[in-house]
Amino acid sequence: MRKAFVLLLSAIPALTPTALPQTAERRAWNPGSDAARRIFEESGQRLKIGFEFTSRFEARTGVNFGREPHLENPLLRTRVSAEYQPAGWLKVSAMAQDCRAPLYGRPAPTSARDTVDLQEGYLELFPETKLGFGALLGRQTVVFGDGRLIGSPQWSNTARTYDAARLYYRLPAVRLEFLLVSIVKVRPDEFNRPVLGDRVWGMYHSFPGAIQDGSAEVYLLRHDQNRPGGFSETGRLGINTFGGRVAGPLPQAWKYTLELALQNGKVGPRNHRALGWASRASRSFTTAIPVDFSTEYKYASGTQNPEGNRSGTFDQLYPASHDKFGHADLLAWRNIHNIRSLVTLRPTQGTAVNLMYNNSWLASARDAAYNLQGRPIAQSVDGSAGRHIGQELDVFATQRWNGFVFGAGFAHLFAGSFLKNTTPGVNTRYLYVFQSYGF
């Protein structure tokens, strides 16, 4: 661990606050941001550049609940981006990304390592038009709603991106969008490319004026996956997701978010019927130390009879799931009941201290618990292992300062009866520190 910390710190000495001038006149000095602003102004406000360097050291114990060795390693990510708008009807964006996982001790997974590659590269047509048609074509990060079904999780070192075609039509209170997205598969030492046999297409419409101080969205999405795309059963996967999301204010300064998704279709030869639900209430309190509070309940159905001819396990599509089921990112929105509470304290400007609690159960005792990628962790086909997955307690904090972000966190999952009966049942712990600079 000591060697890893030395490598982490040696990679970033020029970016630490102690290396910057400390006089009052220079405290807000940010050379990267200043240079980007000058380039933007000198180009006639046509060219924007961006940069990000993030380093994180992680230590995990109880990996896969005791079935794999402990893991300690640094993660490094560098991004350089540019956005050019030669005309009001056209914008071109590109981002190069390099992700490293030195000292991993074995071949690093694709979630940690991807040498220099194209993270984004797309055209946007009519980006400034408030009414009428527009389009986004090419490789891009994509987030809809809260990112529960389609998102680009940035906590992952490599971060998901898509090759996508999105066509939309804007009205004063409506945005109608038609989309086709396919995950770009990471190839650590080759050019990343999508597998079009794993794709989502359909409609995602938003109505920003439907609710006062809120929003509403409805969607109809089709998930197709064949064997080259990753489907491992007989035949192919074809799942339709119908749903919507609403968010708005409640009395006494509370806010709410509700999302419901219904599914039908086929999982190989089996008929598929499933349901996903997410609800959240939140409020900010003005006290001596400002406090944000939120509480959530989430549900995703599971298959009641794994030996039958009907699939009931909710398909979470391509979510951005960081923090949604615990800070250690161990569980997915599949076959689960989950209760989550989050308290955020803001003692000073730019500082956030977070306390999170999660409690999770299986929706169906005979179906599996699923990891963040949607793959089974463990299963009790006869349902005798119990339903309680476990409880997780998390504390994590961030400090923002003049283009820098510093942070640290700790998560501990206490294994419930299901994990104790189907795995070695070792409690999982996750500790990290990170530093990021960007403009």
Q: What is the pLDDT of residue 1?
A: 45
- List Cβ neighbours of 327 (8 Å cut-off, separation of 6 or more): 356, 392, 394, 396, 409, 411, 430
Range of the domain at 291: 2-438
- Tokens 């949604």, located at residue: 324
Number of domains in the chain: 1
pLDDT score at 135 = 97
> So what's the pLDDT on residue 22?
40
- Average of per-residue pLDDT values in the chain: 91
Name every residue whose Cβ is closer than 8 Å to that of residue 195 and which is 6 or more positions away in sequence: 182, 183, 185, 228, 229, 230
CATH code, domain carrying 427: 2.40.160.100
Q: What is the mean pLDDT of each run of 10 residues along the chain (439 residues)?
A: 43 38 50 90 94 96 90 95 95 97 85 94 94 96 95 94 96 94 93 92 92 92 93 93 96 96 96 98 94 98 94 97 95 98 96 98 97 95 96 97 95 97 95 96
Render the burial of 300-314: b for 16+ CB within 10 Å, e for the rest.
Answer: bbbbeebeeeebbbb
The continuous run of DSSP H or E covering 202 comes out as strand 193-207
Does this model's pTM top 0.85? My answer is: yes
* Helix runs in 91-187, H state only: none
Give strand pairing partners of 56: 75, 434
pLDDT of residue 259: 98
CA gap 101, 121 in Å, rounded: 24
pLDDT recorded at residue 8:
39
